[in-house]
């Protein structure tokens, strides 16, 4: 609506010129000139106010889009990543969409439909001028569509390659600790430079095509203005139209063709916005249109059950986990053992709801973990993955999971994890910024900080995936003390381990082999089948399949692989 009014008001200068030439100059009336001038100035002031309003509306709409899309986009991208799918959308798409609405490209598109008003005005001046103007508009529009046809698919590919290339560059920077000592820097960056040159060459080709068509459009518009003046002068000489109409027709045709020319120049922004919209639409496909009320379940007691769970990673044919069924009662500590590649980490991710089973159910207190709202269930779960990620922020914020910090709960979790004194030794204690001092925090210390985060808030169910893989002797002692404390608090614990010292804290043991349950039962029953050094061979455990029979070999501080 604003664009329609604005384009109508753009006719003011042409109408004013037409009236001055045809009425004021011929009549010599100063009163007519005065009032025509005042009316034209008033209309131009209105035009300026409406143009300002349109730009403000679009600018605020762009800001609104950014604020409404950024956080949901990141959340949805995380969900897609956890589901094992490839998502093309990213924060760059939100930026492209915001830039499109805040820039001139959208103004050109909003003005293009109203070029019909200018063409109709030219037809009203004289049909011959209308033919020239309409033909020129059709040619310019054809050039814009040709530009789209020549660049659309290539621009989409270049955008995707550029995004991936930029991500690779940041990965090279992050991997500097490996690249430089191994003498890989020259080879890596030579390879990156060659691919970057290919991307730049492709971008330059697209820019050259658009520039060529834009240059042709501008030249054609100038030719059309000359042509319409020539045609107008011809009919003025024949006495079929006035000189004012000739000048007005030339000016109005420029107004009619300007949006088409501007759209051609802004085509790159338009294509980027269109690709961004497609990527975001694909990202949010299948999600609900809005939040809906969900039943709030009570705090879980910690009972965990896997019911015939299969997990098949996307794009693969072989399941990582097959027919997993077991249950642990609230307050029990279950140790998960097995060789590398048995599916232990996958089991942990399924237990906390990070991944969804391909088949079967993972239940916490009889409710499927995917029936819980993650924001409600999260505070009741503690999770320590193999790769501990400390996010940008303070130590306190990381342990408190970036929620409101409860100082008592924070210090209690740090003390149980045996990391309180370590934190106090950092430059600013609990207020130390992780990003600034990350190099001072070793892998073992990261695990202990991650353990404190997992224990924060007195969770009912804790999953620890090899929590002492990088810990020293002090870290091992802190872990054993933490497990003892969790047992006293009747907290359910699922822990992946290869060490017998941790196994002693377990109530039950789950053995995995090749993605299937090889054995499951109370720790005492499993210990009776241990083969101590120098004794007779132990009786093998009964497994679901004959080829998966297992035995545990106990050593001082190591639990051997399940064969």
CATH number reported for the structural domain that contains residue 120 in this entry: 1.20.1560.10
Which among 14, 257, 235, 217 is positioned nearest to 119, based on CA atoms? 257
Following DSSP, what letter does each residue of 50-92 receive, concatenated? HHHHHHHHHHHHHHHHHHHHHHHHHHHHHHHHHTT------HH
The answer to whether residue 242 is domain-embedded is yes
Task: Report d(CA 418, CA 451) in Å as an integer.
Answer: 9
Whether residues 173 and 81 fall in one domain = yes
Instruction: Decide if 549 is inside a domain.
Output: no
Residue 545 in any domain: the answer is: no
Q: Do 265 and 328 belong to one domain?
A: no
Tokens, residue 445: 């210390």
| 57 belongs to a structural domain | yes
Query: Is 228 found in the same domain as 98?
Result: yes
Q: What is the mean pLDDT of the chain?
A: 82
Three-state secondary structure call for residue 518:
strand
5-31 tens-digit pLDDT: 998 888 888 888 888 877 888 788 888
Residues 6+ apart with CB under 8 A from 350: 306, 309, 311, 321, 356, 357, 362
What's the total number of domains in the chain? 2
Q: Which domain holds residue 524?
A: 304-530
Is 550 part of a structural domain of the chain? Answer: no
Residue 118 burial (CB count, 10 A): 26
Are residue 321 and residue 277 in the same domain, yes or no? no
Asked whether the beta carbons of 551 and 538 are under 8 A apart, the reply is yes
403 and 262 belong to one structural domain: no
Single out the residue of 348, 384, 350 nearest to residue 369, CA to CA.
350
Q: Are residues 210 and 136 in the same domain?
A: yes
Same domain, 373 and 235: no
Global pTM value: 0.66
The closest alpha carbon to 100, from 218, 222, 277, belongs to 277
pLDDT of residue 530: 45
pLDDT tens sequence across 345-363: 999 999 988 888 889 999 9
And the tokens for 514? 């090749």
The residue behind tokens 């003025």 is 236
Cα distances (Å, whole numbers) of residue 67 to 59, 94, 279, 351: 13, 9, 18, 33
Predicted pLDDT of residue 436 = 59
38 and 121 within one domain = yes
What is the reported pLDDT for 542?
Answer: 38
Own/partner pairs for 76-79, CB < 8 Å, 24+ apart? 76/283, 76/284, 76/287, 77/283
C-alpha dihedral (82, 85, 91, 97), degrees to nearest 10: -140
Q: Are residue 381 and residue 465 in the same domain, yes or no?
A: yes
What pLDDT does 93 receive?
84
| Residue at 535 is within a domain | no
Whose tokens are 């503690």? That residue is 382
User: Can you tell me whether residue 253 is helix, strand or coil?
Assistant: helix
What are all long-range contacts of 151-158, with beta carbons under 8 Å and residues at least 24 apart?
151/206, 151/209, 151/210, 151/267, 151/271, 152/271, 154/202, 154/205, 154/206, 155/206, 155/268, 155/271, 155/272, 155/275, 156/271, 156/275, 157/202, 158/199, 158/202, 158/203, 158/206
Whether the CB-CB separation of 447 and 468 falls below 8 Å is answered with yes
- Sign of torsion over alpha carbons 85, 91, 92, 94: positive
**Nearest residue to 421 (alpha-carbon basis) of 457, 393, 445, 454:** 445
Q: Mapping DSSP to helix (H, G, I), strand (E, B) and coil, where does residue 520 land?
A: strand
| 22, two tokens | 């045809």
Weakly modelled stretches of the chain, pLDDT under 50: 290, 530-563
Distance, CA of 142 to CA of 452 (rounded, Å):
64
The gap between the terminal CA atoms of the chain, to the nearest Å, is 75
Cβ–Cβ < 8 Å for 321, 515: yes
Residue 373 lies in a domain: yes
| Cα 284 to Cα 414: distance, rounded to the nearest angstrom | 38
Indicate whether 191 and 83 sit together in one domain. Answer: yes
Rg (CA), the chain: 36
- Asked if 97 and 69 touch (Cβ cutoff 8 Å), the reply is yes
Asked whether the beta carbons of 492 and 331 are under 8 A apart, the reply is yes
* Same domain membership, residue 336 and residue 196: no
State the DSSP H helix or E strand holding residue 40, giving kind and residue range, or none if neither: helix 30-82
Q: Are residues 324 and 188 in the same domain?
A: no
In a domain, 552, yes or no: no
Report the CATH number at residue 468.
3.40.50.300
């Amino acid at each position: 609506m604003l664009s329609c009014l604005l384009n109508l008001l753009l006719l003011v200068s042409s109408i004013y010129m037409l009236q001055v030439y045809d009425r004021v100059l011929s009549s010599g009336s100063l009163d007519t000139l005065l009032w025509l001038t005042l009316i034209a100035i008033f209309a131009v002031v209105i035009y300026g106010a409406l143009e300002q309003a349109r730009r403000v509306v679009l600018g605020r709409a762009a800001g609104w889009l950014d604020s409404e899309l950024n956080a949901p986009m990141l959340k949805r991208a995380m969900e897609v990543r956890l589901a094992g799918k490839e998502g093309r959308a990213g924060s760059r798409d939100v930026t492209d969409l915001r830039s499109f609405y805040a820039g001139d490209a959208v103004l050109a598109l909003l003005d293009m439909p109203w070029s019909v008003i200018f063409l109709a005005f030219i037809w009203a001046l004289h049909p011959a001028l209308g033919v020239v103007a309409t033909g020129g508009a059709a040619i310019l529009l054809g050039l814009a569509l040709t530009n789209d046809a020549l660049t659309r698919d290539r621009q989409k590919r270049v955008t995707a390659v550029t995004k991936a290339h930029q991500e690779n560059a940041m990965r090279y920077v992050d991997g500097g600790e490996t690249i430089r000592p191994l003498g890989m820097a020259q080879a890596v960056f030579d390879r990156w430079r060659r691919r970057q040159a290919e991307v730049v060459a492709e971008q330059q080709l697209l820019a050259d095509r658009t520039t060529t068509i834009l240059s042709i459009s501008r030249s054609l518009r100038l030719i059309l203005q000359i042509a319409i003046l020539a045609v107008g002068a011809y009919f003025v000489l024949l006495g079929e139209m006035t000189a004012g109409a000739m000048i007005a027709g030339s000016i109005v045709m420029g107004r009619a063709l300007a949006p088409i020319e501007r759209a051609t120049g802004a085509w790159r922004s338009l294509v980027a916005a269109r690709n961004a919209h497609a990527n975001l639409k694909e990202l949010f496909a299948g999600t609900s249109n809005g939040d809906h009320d969900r039943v709030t379940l009570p705090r879980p007691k910690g009972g965990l059950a896997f019911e015939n769970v299969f997990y098949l990673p996307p794009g693969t044919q072989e399941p990582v986990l097959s027919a997993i069924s077991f249950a642990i009662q609230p307050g029990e500590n279950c140790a998960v053992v097995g060789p590398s590649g048995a599916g232990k980490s996958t089991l942990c991710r399924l237990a906390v709801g990070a991944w969804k089973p391909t088949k079967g159910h993972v239940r916490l207190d009889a409710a499927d973990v995917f029936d819980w709202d993650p924001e409600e269930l999260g505070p009741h779960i503690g999770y320590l993955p193999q790769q501990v990620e400390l996010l940008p922020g303070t130590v306190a914020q990381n342990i408190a999971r970036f929620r409101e910090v409860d100082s008592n709960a924070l210090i209690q979790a740090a003390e149980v994890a045996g990391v309180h004194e370590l934190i106090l030794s950092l430059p600013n204690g609990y207020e130390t910024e992780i990003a600034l001092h990350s190099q001072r925090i070793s892998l073992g210390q990261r695990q202990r900080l991650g353990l404190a985060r997992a224990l924060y808030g007195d969770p009912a169910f804790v999953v620890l995936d090899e929590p002492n893989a990088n810990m020293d002797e002090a870290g091992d002692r802190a872990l054993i003390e933490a497990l003892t404390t969790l047992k006293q608090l009747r907290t359910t614990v699922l822990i992946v381990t290869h060490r017998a010292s941790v196994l002693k804290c377990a109530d039950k043991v789950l053995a995995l082999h090749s993605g299937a349950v090889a054995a499951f039962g109370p720790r005492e029953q499993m210990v009776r089948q241990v083969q101590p050094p120098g004794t007779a061979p132990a009786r093998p455990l009964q497994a679901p399949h004959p080829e998966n029979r297992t035995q545990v070999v106990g050593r001082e501080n190591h639990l051997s692989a399940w064969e």
